[in-house]
């Protein structure tokens, strides 16, 4: 686990294995490379010619760019790593949080194998400390649990020292503590997403949550297959009954005595999705261990809220199942009686996420929370619509949808508000049951949202985040985003809890 410290030492005198500075493109027609604030002492050690040296090495200041230069005799660190920040802001403006977060992530990834790095990036406020800390700690992430690594194998960056911060300043200290707690939980979610499905079964996932509950003083309730059957959870059972690894519904509760506001987060936790009887073709099932990313995000957000003492009550509902074909599996044409009594005709067993979520949403509604937010890698249609980096937001309240969108953008998670067209609802009408789990093909992501809306309790504000695109990165690492599980939506959920605690959301 990468450590984070705030240091009052100067960039020239701190003993570290690397020194990170920011560089940018100068605004205006002439352009040129400029050294970002925070690196003045480093520039002085280079005789005021750091920008010129880096330009000679090919640096342009572009975002994502990393340039390495050997340190002169005036610096304790053996080399300087310059990260591009894009175009420099105007004199009266600061660098955007996401720019700093991404730059720190790029630096941390480039410093894999290094013990200690000092980050001399621009810090003007506590928010900058938080952004740089998040980026560095997320960028340093590596999942190596299943690799046979020798004694000489290099690990991720071990320590991040932030220069220019004030360790005794309450706001600075709180910013560092928040970034550490948040990133540790995001990285825990990433670990879960990356864990092979033969090890992360529904039962095993529930055990991880139970252990975390004991560690952080959270109440955990696990419903096994017998309790699910007794309780009438036909959706979760219908999806998980075909697997030897039977389903679970996990309730994770964080309660703060000073606040009566209550949020319910519901996560899709399909620990492996074969498609069931409606089997996925080859090329579409190799990464389906990631189909529990929503549950991992909910788990991480609730624990992070507890660790930070956010003054709001948060309940996490993790609907865990493995979707497999077998003689006992649900068939296309079967009718399931969901929690609460609604019946659903299953036309496609590969539209299983909405079935487990529906049970959990209906159950969560019984507690009358102020709002419910479900998170799921739900539809390929959403990936087709928004791409690999952006999640869709649907809601039964336009103002709530807008608030979540703004929160996501603020914390650096790309999202986009999506509609719930009433005309698509009738395409899920069934001649046999109350509704079917499929509608028309076009607008499939919206139809999934409309299906879930049917199970939200009357008068409860609700939103649905379809994170199918950004939850699992199959491409190259970038910024603070690794290959594999990303921890998508955790930052949005935590900030939503904080905003609710502050009274900003009603």
149 in active site: no
Kindly report the number of other CB atoms within 10 A of residue 255's CB atom.
14
Which candidate, 308, 270, 296, 14, places its Cα nearest to that of 178? 308
DSSP state of 481: B
For residue 133, what are the contacts with CB-CB under 8 A and spacing of at least 6?
4, 104, 160, 162, 175, 176, 179, 180, 183
Measured CA distances, 144 to 106, 414, 471, 482 (Å):
19, 28, 19, 13
Measured CA distances, 249 to 167, 240, 265, 343, 358 (Å):
42, 11, 13, 20, 12
Q: Say if CB 494 and CB 301 are below 8 A apart.
A: yes
Kindly report the number of other CB atoms within 10 A of residue 113's CB atom.
11
Q: In 8-78, where do the E strands start and end?
A: 18-25, 33-35, 66-70
Classify strands 371-376 and 461-466 as parallel, antiparallel or unpaired. parallel
363 in active site: no
Catalytic residue among 354, 363, 495, 499: 354
Q: What count of residues does the chain have?
A: 506
- Sign of torsion over alpha carbons 148, 151, 157, 158: positive
Catalytic residue among 280, 342, 453, 483: 280
> Which helix (H) or strand (E) element contains residue 41?
helix 40-45
Rg, C-alpha atoms of the chain: 24
- What are the residues facing 323 on neighbouring strands? 273
What angle, rounded to 10 degrees, do the helices at 490-501 and 293-308 form?
A: 40
Measured CA distances, 438 to 332, 337, 346, 350, 505 (Å):
11, 16, 8, 10, 33
Residues labelled as active-site residues: 280, 354
């Amino acid at each position: 686990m990468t450590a984070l410290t705030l240091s009052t030492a100067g960039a020239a005198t701190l003993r570290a294995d690397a020194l990170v500075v920011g560089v940018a493109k100068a605004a205006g027609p002439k352009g040129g490379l400029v050294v970002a604030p925070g690196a003045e002492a480093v520039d002085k050690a280079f005789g005021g010619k750091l920008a010129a040296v880096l330009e000679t090495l090919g640096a342009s200041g572009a975002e994502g760019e990393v340039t390495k230069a050997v340190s002169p005799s005036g610096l304790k660190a053996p080399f300087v790593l310059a990260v591009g920040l894009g175009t420099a802001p105007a004199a009266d403006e600061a660098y955007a949080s996401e720019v700093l977060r991404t730059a720190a992530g790029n630096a941390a990834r480039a410093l894999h194998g290094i013990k200690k790095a000092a980050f001399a990036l621009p810090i003007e406020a506590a928010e900058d400390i938080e952004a740089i800390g998040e980026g560095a700690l997320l960028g340093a992430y590596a999942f190596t649990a299943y690799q046979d690594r020798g004694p000489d194998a290099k690990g991720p960056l071990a320590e991040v020292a932030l220069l220019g911060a004030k360790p005794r300043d309450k706001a600075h200290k709180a910013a560092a503590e928040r970034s550490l707690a948040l990133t540790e939980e995001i990285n825990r979610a990433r670990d879960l997403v990356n864990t092979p499905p033969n090890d992360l079964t529904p039962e095993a996932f529930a055990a991880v949550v139970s252990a975390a509950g004991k560690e952080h003083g959270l109440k955990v309730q696990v419903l096994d297959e017998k309790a699910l059957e007794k309780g009438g959870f036909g959706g979760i059972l219908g999806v998980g009954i075909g697997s030897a690894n039977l389903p679970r519904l996990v309730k994770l509760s964080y309660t703060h005595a000073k606040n009566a506001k209550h949020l319910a987060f519901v996560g899709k936790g399909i620990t492996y999705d074969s498609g069931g009887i409606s089997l996925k073709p080859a090329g579409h099932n190799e990464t389906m261990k990631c189909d529990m990313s929503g549950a991992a995000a909910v788990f991480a957000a609730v624990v992070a809220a507890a660790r930070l003492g956010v003054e709001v009550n948060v309940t996490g509902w993790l609907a865990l199942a493995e979707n497999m074909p077998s003689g006992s599996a649900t068939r296309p044409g079967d009718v399931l009686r969901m929690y609460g009594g609604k019946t659903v005709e299953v036309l496609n067993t590969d539209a299983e996420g909405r079935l487990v979520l529906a049970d959990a949403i209906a159950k969560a509604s019984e507690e009358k929370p102020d709002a419910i937010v479900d998170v799921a890698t739900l539809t390929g249609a959403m990936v087709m619509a928004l791409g690999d980096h952006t999640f869709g937001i649907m809601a039964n309240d336009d103002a709530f949808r807008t608030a979540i969108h703004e929160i996501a953008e603020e914390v650096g998670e790309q999202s986009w508000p999506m509609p719930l067209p009433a005309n698509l609802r009738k395409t899920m009408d069934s001649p046999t049951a109350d509704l079917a789990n499929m509608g028309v093909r076009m607008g499939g992501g919206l139809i999934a949202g409309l299906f879930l809306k049917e199970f939200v309790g009357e008068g409860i504000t609700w939103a649905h985040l379809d994170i199918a695109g950004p939850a699992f990165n199959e491409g190259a690492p970038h910024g603070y985003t690794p290959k594999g599980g990303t921890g998508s939506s955790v930052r949005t959920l935590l900030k939503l809890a904080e905003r609710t605690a502050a009274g900003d959301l009603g």
